Chain A
Amino acid sequence: MSTLQIDFGHAKPRIVGIDLGTTNSLVAVMDLTGPRILSGIVPSVVSVTKSGEVIAGAEAREMLITHPERTVYSVKRLMGRGVGDVQDELKLFPFHVVPADAEGSESVLKLQLGDKIMTPPEVSAYILRKLKEDAEDVLGAEVTQAVITVPAYFNDAQRQATKDAGRIAGLEVLRLVNEPTAAALAYGLDKRKEGLVAVYDLGGGTFDISILRLHDGIFEVLATNGDTHLGGDDIDNLLLNIALEDIQSEWGEDVSGNASLVQMLRRAVIQAKEALSFAPAAMIDLEYGPRKYQREIDVELFNRLIEPIVERTLGPCRNCIKDAGITVEQINETVMVGGSTRIPLVRSAVERLFRKRPHTELNPDEVVALGAAVQAGILGGEVEDKLLLDVTPLSLGIETMGGLMSKLIHRNSTIPASETELFTTAVDGQTNVLIHVLQGERELVKDCRSLARFDLKDIDPMIAGMARIQVRFLIDANGILNVTAKDLRTGKEHSMDVKPSYGLTDDQVEAMILESYDKAEEDFKERQIREARVEADAILGAVDKAKEDDAYQALAQEDRTAIDRSINELRLAYHSDDHLLIRDQIEKLNQATMALAEAIMNEAVGKALKGTNIND
């Protein structure tokens, strides 16, 4: 049971790369030979059991059928969004949302799961925690640092929510990387020294298009575009609605309120959808107690249904090419990412638009996690020849007179990017200035996304226009806004209060972490001990059995004594809470039984050579 650990020279903690997807999530790490997926796909589903325990992954996915009202899927669609944003979406979800409080629609969404109330970052944190544990099991070491991928078109609030989820899960998020950019890294397209690459990423819930220029290991994003509410989920919902209508007319009953049935049906339509990527027709097949529903969907009908969805991806592609300042003919390679790019209609539409056959060699479900691991390698210093230069997907600005948005940093600016603006007072004796920061491309504030309100407070009372406060807006390498203010009269940092429009405050996140982080460390330790004990059980059982063998009797007395002594020591260590001690004793018992194991092996080989089947 020894695991081979590749050490990069020092005892540096490993940074993992995580693809936190709408439907599925994955964790990967950079090895000497390249990026490697660390464990199986973890469904991005979280459920609260009757006893109040929170579970994530495959186990939670089963709860979707049995306890849909206390189970969350596709939580990524809710990250960084307000109650008002997601009304349409919520109709399709089986779980309940805690009604908005007096603050109105600009407040953090809260989900009611059983008797627990959780925000989307907390739900995501449980998925991250599961990935962290899986990674720790494979690596045999604690994991505390990660690179997490996000859709390129995620706005500031959605990015911040993802980073918060990491913190809550006990992970230091060293970098948020855009999914299409990560995919480009995974494809190792830099082998081509110079060139232009388009990455088309259609996942479970989001769509991104990015165009990159490759230059000697530098991946420079020229432009990005997308839709954070467009993906495979939308296709599922189309099929689901058809099936629900069918059932209503066949059974004479509206079953859309039956959450458990709807989730079973959702699973059935997903199976049919996936089959349609390879077969000319597929069956939506549902058995609910004594009742049955079946419907065949052929590719022709399927294509007709999904054409509007595929079409919706093409507009952003054209805009992206335009923003990159290139023509479609100049693009050398096209890369496909995300499970939905398995659909033949999607592939042909992309091929037609970009006029070349897209790369599909890597598993579209894994490529983003692999790229995240490469970026983790870059940050860890193991990968030195590559560098990502990404952009901000949306323009950043502030509210000015008359409800207008004044842009400070334009979309597709390479990040980190910054801009400074001078603020002053408008009336005598004014002691604070409010700054409303927005993201978006439209001219009116109401058409843009509110990010936060900053209150420059405690300004010394003076004549209007005398105060000079310089505010610096910086979009960091994660695409997240940082704001600092300096009083030019004193040269000192000026304090301010920040109220995020759709996010958690620092204090809120902090409160969530302390609870789960301590527990996470405890969990890890417990798991280490549990695993060591499982191993101890295995070797103790094997030695017990070997002692019945003739070879044991043939051993020298001192060898037998040594074995017994090691067994006793292991049994003593077994109940300690020190997993390293248990492992030490396992190793000692292994050493002590080496001669015995050899003797048994020789005996078996001898028997086999005599023509006796050892399986007899």
Chain B
Amino acid sequence: MRFYDALGLEPKLALDSDDLKKRFYDRSRQWHPDRFSRGTSEEKKRSEEMTSMLNDAFRTLRDPVTRAEYFLRESGLELSKDAPPELLEEVFELNMALEELRGGDESARGQLVSAQERFTGMLADADSGLGGLFTSYDGKPDAAVLEQIRATLNRRKYVSNLVRDVEKELNVHSAN
């Protein structure tokens, strides 16, 4: 996987963030276009290519979620855009409450605040769950574990969109 290659790493899901940072800084010092301003146009072009790849790689890999998404994509697995079935009922209620608040019904606010807390909690759970799955897959690459990671990421993405929407709506209406 080219992002891992750019940082001189084996493709693993669990990465040490300090080590990652150090690799990024060391390689930046070596490859950055500033180091080749008096170089040939060939060298300049190569430096720009390598540095932009390095920057893109670091940006993607330093965050566990974008890293896992990249890892899945490279392994041929795409995230789905559908709502996770286990959340359907909850999302339905949430949308009703959002509608009520938009319509000016302040009594929906309490329900939204508690939903927001619950969803934020789900995000934290997903994140801590990911850590365990990463180590497990790195130790023994098992397609079932990768599938579990994908399900977690799907749910995580969906929930984080919900949190964002609720936050936005609460802010808009508290401003009035």
Contacts and interface: CB of A to CB of B under 8 A. Distances in A.
B29 A387 contact: yes
B28 A218 contact: yes
A416 B34 contact: no
B59 interface: yes
Interface string A360-395: 000000000000000100111100000111000000
A59 interface: no
B34 A474 contact: no
B55 A216 contact: no
Given A215-B25, A218-B25, A477 B33 contact: yes
A416 B37 contact: no
Interface string A339-378: 0000000000000000000000000000000000001001
Given A416-B48, A477-B48, A175 B34 contact: yes
Contacts of B38: 12, 379-381
A495 interface: no
Interface string B22-57: 000100110011100110000000001001110110
B59 to A, nearest CB: 6
A484 to B, nearest CB: 11
A216 B25 contact: yes
Nearest to B21: A215
A417 interface: yes
Interface string A418-433: 1100000000000000
Interface string A473-496: 010110000000000000000000
A159 to B, nearest CB: 15
Nearest to B48: A416
Nearest to B38: A381
Nearest to A474: B52
Which of B21, B32, B53, B58 neighbours the largest number of chain A CB atoms within 10 Å of its CB? B32
Nearest to B22: A215
Nearest to B32: A387
Contacts of B58: 414
B59 A413 contact: yes
Nearest to B53: A418
A12 B37 CA distance: 13
Contact of B52 (A12, A378, A381, A418): A418
Contacts of B59: 413-414, 417
A414 B29 CA distance: 14
Contacts of A378: 34
Contact of B48 (A215, A388, A476): A476
Interface string B51-94: 11101101100000000000000000000000000000000000
A216 B25 CA distance: 9
A174 interface: yes
A381 B38 CA distance: 9
Given A416-B51, A416-B52, A474-B48, A388 B34 contact: yes
Contacts of A381: 38
Contact of B37 (A175, A414, A415): A175
Contact of A416 (B25, B29, B33): B33
Interface string A160-196: 0000000000000011000000000000000000000
A387 B35 CA distance: 9
Given A216-B25, A389-B28, A477 B56 contact: no
Given A387-B34, A418-B56, A474-B48, 4 more contacts: A175-B37, A381-B38, A415-B55, A416-B52
Interface of A: 12, 174-175, 215-216, 218, 375, 378-381, 387-389, 413-419, 474, 476-477
Interface of B: 21, 25, 28-29, 32-34, 37-38, 48, 51-53, 55-56, 58-59
20 contacts: A174-B37, A215-B21, A215-B25, A218-B28, A218-B29, A378-B34, A379-B37, A379-B38, A387-B29, A387-B32, A387-B34, A389-B28, A414-B59, A415-B52, A416-B33, A416-B51, A417-B56, A417-B59, A418-B52, A474-B52
8 A-B pairs closest in CB distance:
A416-B52, A379-B37, A414-B55, A418-B52, A477-B33, A378-B34, A416-B51, A174-B37
